[in-house]
Amino acid sequence: MSKDQIISGNTILGIEFGSTRIKSVLIDRDHNVIASGSHEWENDYVDGIWTYSEESIMNGLKSSYADLKKDVMERYGVPLKKLSGMGISAMMHGYLPFDREMNLLVPFRTWRNTITGEAAEKLTEVFSFNMPQRWSLSHLYQAILNKEDHVKDIVFLTTLAGWIHYLLTGRKVLGVGDASGMMPIDPVTCDYDAGMVAAFDKLVSGKYPWTLKAILPQVLCAGQDAGTLTAEGAKLLDPEGDLEPGCPLCPPEGDAGTGMAATNSVRARTGNVSAGTSIFSMIVLEKPMSRVYPEIDIVTTPSGKPVGMVHCNSCTSEINAWVSLFREFADLMGCPTDVGDVFTKLFLKSREADKDCGGLVSFNYLAGEPVTGVAEGRPMFVRLPDAKMNLANFMRAQIYASMETLKYGMEIMNREHVAIDCVYGHGGLFKTEGVAQKDLAAAIHAPVTVMETAGEGGAWGIALLADYRVYRADGETLEDYLQNHVFSGMKQITVSPDPEDEKGFDLYMKRFVSCLPAQKAAGAEFRD
């Protein structure tokens, strides 16, 4: 059946540019992944800027698709030639300014950079709206404050997903969820907030030959027409020339929006936590927050509903580093290990730990963390002199560390009495059943659900949004489409917070907060 759908062109392609992997998935009419491909990559730190080069972006796109195409051939013995739909997703935020010929004016400045503090603070004041450092408008205004020469030549400003979508379709558009990470969105109009656009133009009046609205992508909600794959786009994606142009694309989205789609958390009172290189929570708000909080970003679902977001720059990288160290020691002792088995055993071992980690505290800060006011991160491990230093406590401290900054921000929502019926966890942190899931429930004081599709991730999520673009019925909302056609009857496991786990994590957090001055000092004093 899958082979027949591939031959007839009844499959959907989703591609997501993650921070460490570009993943491509092909789904059938039952929304099952029937083939996949990937390309591993890493950001570079060049002249104080976290970036991916233009060459690595283009090569990664082609490599990921080629890997998918190879998988299709190996599984089904037929070439991938025709698609019924397609979607592009990528890391949100960042800075990608282009000139009139669509030349990139400066290297891509990613979400990971914490170099726009002055701009973010000023825009937050002008807008009376929290403007995080990683947002595109913060990057633009910081470039203006820095008097960077390229700003006068900007004709188009977009995100990574928006750029790839343009290359494939020729359309300068963006899904509302991704657009809400560029600048604030008015949920009534499903467009950039007109008052804030006017305030920004007034702020920079007379300095440049452009207005803000003129250089930003057109905002589209889920299901709207975002163009079709052009002949040039098909050739870019598949240089071998097998892929036919003409399939419709959904609005390009950010990884936050695809995470919501992939976890069916697009209704009010639901949310999701995506845990990979970074970690962030997305809670669909039933009512507005009582005031502006610098720790909480207000973005939107792919259909434009307001969402409270706590975004943290670091999550699993430090755990990965320690697991690598343990495996190196095992090799030294003549005991070769399987990486997946090591992760599973260490995660399960953490369940034997003291609820507060026995006096151990870990910081996984590979970059700055605006949520806790840390400008420049330094991974750090500290403990009380009489701490119970054992493997279980150490691993639980590492898992707590992956979500401690998220908890710091989520406690604000808890104090605001934000209604949360359930949060869906997805990403590599949740692969070992019942471990990180239980710790997250304790961290956020809410039930956490992990579905059998938790490992599919954002590429599957953007494929679902493309499926909605192609196959939805007239008037069918995204919320109803996902519930009725995709997630109905899907296997899932839900755990409620254990009161003793909550107490233990809260005690751990008191020690974590007390150590924040040491983390800040390390970032300021411990340098290359």
Instruction: Encode pLDDT of 58-101 as tens digits.
Output: 999 999 999 999 999 999 999 999 999 999 999 999 999 999 99
Q: Which domain holds residue 311?
A: 264-453+498-528
How many domains, in total, are found in the chain?
1
The confidence score (pLDDT) of residue 453 equals: 63
**pLDDT tens digits for range 401-442:** 999 999 999 999 999 999 999 899 988 899 898 999 999 999
- Of 440, 451, 511, 445, the closest CA to residue 486 belongs to 451
The confidence score (pLDDT) of residue 454 equals: 52
- Of 184, 17, 195, 5, the closest CA to residue 110 belongs to 17
**pLDDT tens digits for range 212-243:** 999 999 999 999 999 999 999 999 999 999 99
The confidence score (pLDDT) of residue 412 equals: 95
Share of the chain above pLDDT 90, in %: 88
**pLDDT tens digits for range 452-496:** 765 567 899 999 999 999 999 999 999 999 999 999 888 889 999
In a domain, 323, yes or no: yes
Element (H, E) at 38: strand 33-40
The confidence score (pLDDT) of residue 1 equals: 77
Q: How do beta strands 12-17 and 85-90 pair?
A: parallel
- Is the pLDDT score of 120 beyond 90? yes
Name the band, by pLDDT with cuts 50, 70 and 90, for residue 24. very high
Q: What share of the chain is helix, strand, coil (3-state, %, to 5)?
A: 40, 20, 40
In a domain, 368, yes or no: yes
User: Residue 397 and residue 500: Cα distance in Å, rounded?
Assistant: 16
Name the band, by pLDDT with cuts 50, 70 and 90, for residue 5. very high
In a domain, 431, yes or no: yes
Q: How do beta strands 12-17 and 21-27 pair?
A: antiparallel
In a domain, 459, yes or no: no
**pLDDT tens digits for range 151-210:** 999 999 999 999 999 999 999 999 999 999 999 999 899 999 999 999 999 999 989 999
- Is the pLDDT score of 392 beyond 80? yes
Q: What is the dihedral of CA 96, 100, 106, 108, to 10 degrees?
A: 20
Q: What are phi and psi of 430, to 5 degrees?
A: -100, 10
The confidence score (pLDDT) of residue 505 equals: 98
Structure-token match 């997703």, residue found:
89
User: Residue 6 and residue 244: Cα distance in Å, rounded?
Assistant: 13
CB 144 within 8 A of CB 116: no
Query: DSSP alpha helices (H): ranges in 98-152?
Result: 117-127, 136-145
In a domain, 70, yes or no: no
In a domain, 259, yes or no: no
**pLDDT tens digits for range 289-302:** 999 998 999 999 99
Q: What is the dihedral of CA 219, 291, 131, 405, to 10 degrees?
A: -110
The confidence score (pLDDT) of residue 451 equals: 84
For residue 353, how far is the Cα from the chain centroid? 30
Task: Look up the CATH number of the domain holding residue 354.
Answer: 3.30.420.40
In a domain, 464, yes or no: no
- Is the pLDDT score of 125 beyond 60? yes
Name the band, by pLDDT with cuts 50, 70 and 90, for residue 283. very high
What is the number of other CB atoms lying within 10 angstroms of the CB of residue 287? 11
Looking at every residue in the chain, the average pLDDT score rounds to 95
In a domain, 503, yes or no: yes
